[in-house]
Amino acid sequence: MEYRRLGRLRLEVSPLCLGTMNFGWDLPGTTEEEGHAIMDRALEHGINFFDTANVYGWRKDAPYRGTGITEQILGTWFAQGGDRREKVVLATKVYGDMGDWPNSSRLSALHIRRACEESLRRLQTDHIDLYQMHHVDRDASWDEIWQAMELLVQQGKVLYVGSSNFAGWHIAQANETARSRHLLGLVSEQCLYNLNARTVELEVLPACEGYGMGVIAWSPLARGLLGGAIQKPTEGRRGSKDTRQQVKENRAELEAFEKLCADLGEQPATVALAWVRANPVVTAPIIGPRTVQQLDDAMRAAELTLDGDTMESLDRIFPGPGGAAPEAWAW
């Protein structure tokens, strides 16, 4: 496994990040036992970067609302020992609704502090390596947010702070406020990025590059659209109503993409992941296997390097916005 630095940090993480969003949901989610097996296999493969969130694991039955089922599954796995926690760079998130009472969501200093304590309890650990804001809170000042994060860092409960789903100007605001407070600032941004969703190339990726932030790409397979949706249309999320509609709307592109992959002798998911990983600003795409076999299959993407001709062909099939802003639309 060839590890990468997370942006400007000395911290080294695997080129694929294990996403745990499938753990603990209603069927066809991944059970606790299956989740433990996937995480054990991830360590065997050399994956040391795990991502979760306090809101993951919601179920239809109300008693489970806000109880952080997915974080609990990671916690029981860490509790098994064997240096599991020590081997993992652990990332989780704060923002989502964890209850009905005021201050049980968003980014007030009060909620950040309480949410962190609750995540630590569920994860059965004394610190979070990367604490990510799951979304921007337009009603919270950056001074309030950084005051809360600074305290958590001083207490040793959080090592690094990251963002998720931020616009480029949110990244700039957050980092400039952090600079004025003599803080490290944001070290990473987790954003939607795949062959079929390239908007972040306009401003988010350039902002991350400018601030030395690592990029963690979520949904690199576009919810299964790029995982062989035409070849195997009924597997997993590919069989959902939304995905079927997207296949209908993007059929010409997907047919060309899957033919290109067949000509390369590679699976569509492998090529889609390798394309995201090839961007030098991207630290790691997030893979979200529901089974150990899906994890094993994804590992091919960690070693596949796409040549220049293939990258150009993919650009023709899935054109991006034309580059970074403002050159993408102006001179």
What positions carry a catalytic annotation? 56
Closest CA to 190 of 162, 210, 211, 171: 162
In the chain, which residue ranges form alpha helices assigned H by DSSP?
32-45, 69-78, 84-87, 109-123, 142-154, 168-180, 204-211, 241-249, 251-264, 268-278, 292-298, 308-317
Contact indicator for 10, 160 with CB cutoff of 8 Å: no
For residue 153, how many other CB atoms are within 10 A of its CB? 18
Omega into 326 within 30° of 0, i.e. cis? Answer: yes
Q: How far is the CA of 208 from the CAs of 132, 135, 169, 214, 229, in angstroms?
A: 15, 16, 11, 7, 31
